[in-house]
Amino acid sequence: MNDEIQPFRIEIPQADIDDLHARLDRVRWPAQLAGTGSERGVPLDRMKELVGHWRSGFDWRGWEARLNRLPQFVTGIDGQRIHFLHVRSERPDATPLLLLHGYPSSIVEFVELIEPLVAPSEGPAFHVVAPSLPGFGFSNPLGGSGWSMGRTGRALAELMRRLGYERYGVHGGDIGAGVAGMVAGVDGERVVGVHVVTDPLTAAATATFIPGMADRLDADDPVDKLILERMTAFRTEGSGYLAIQNSRPQTIGYGLADSPVLQLAWIAEKFAEWTDRPIDRDVLVATVSIYWFTGSGAGAAHVLYEQAHSSDWGAPAAVPHGFAVFGADATVRTLVPAPPGAHWTEFEHGQHFPAMEAPDDLVADLRTFFGPLRRASSAAPS
């Protein structure tokens, strides 16, 4: 890839769709052991329902057309193809906003956010730039090893420079939250603020990787006790998907690249476990379809491996920070290192995927946080 910004359209060959359907037609189903349920993974009846819908009820071409109504581009940065949505507002006072998805997610995460951000009936407006992170979606395949969050942050800061934005905001969740901090750390003179989303389960899971965190918590304190219980539950019951990707991404990559049912189960499990509001079935299957057609199940696994083995944490970002906590309870303030004076909003509902679970709440918080930070942006290509 060269460094030119080129228009892009999603055009999955019909042969790839036919191949997917053929694979779904010849699934070899495992048995469901009597007396077991979702504690052992996605139940058999749920998987059969989802596979049946993907095979016969889901309209990929309709989703392809829907996504293609959003301007998309690709460019090469640091040897890696970067795919991104770039939707400009007609408002002259609009703030450029970099939206960064998490895992296991894609640009589909932001479909419901774009119109209210770009063309609000009132309040702040935004120019939206939503990349597929390296290794994910149409930014797959990876151009090589080493794509940690730090390297990704530097690449996306360069993307915003190429687009001509002198001042911009950054938002992210999950991996995207980490990358958002990296972008601000390397480009603090241009980043007006960083807004991230989290939830109690994600915060507790992240805490399991912080050296000495368990020793800092008091088991006699009700809040700390709850955190310790969640950390233990994640280590013993919820971290298997991450352990294999953090250690053997190539091995699990064979299955994710060869079996659409494994790719579907891999993501459907997390959509079920990490939400408290139902996500539309077609949104789930559209997300899985992008992983399948681009082979980015394996790419995402390699990115998780890179991060698990990286020491590239960047410098602290001395910019305004905003935190939106979904499914909020008292544990998150204990775990999230919010700087003094940070914007902090708590929402009762929604969890790991608020852009899909509670888009109206997320849009409102983005407006509240970035509204006072707006600065005029320079012109950028439409």
Can you point out the beta strands (E) in the chain? 6-7, 72-77, 80-87, 95-100, 126-132, 168-173, 191-198, 321-326, 343-347
Return d(Cα 250, Cα 256) in angstroms, integer: 10
Strands 72-77 and 6-7: antiparallel
- The residues annotated as belonging to the active site are 174, 305, 352
Task: Find the Cα–Cα–Cα–Cα dihedral 370, 374, 376, 381, rounded to 10°.
Answer: 0
Listed in sequence order, the residues at least 6 apart from 288 whose beta carbon sits closer than 8 Å to its beta carbon are: 54, 260, 263, 264, 267, 268
CA–CA distance, 87 with 245 (Å, rounded to integer): 33
Amino acid letter, 39: E
Q: How far is CA 2 from CA 5, 9, 84, 158, 292, in A?
A: 9, 18, 15, 14, 26
User: For 320, phi and psi rounded to 5 degrees?
Assistant: -60, 140
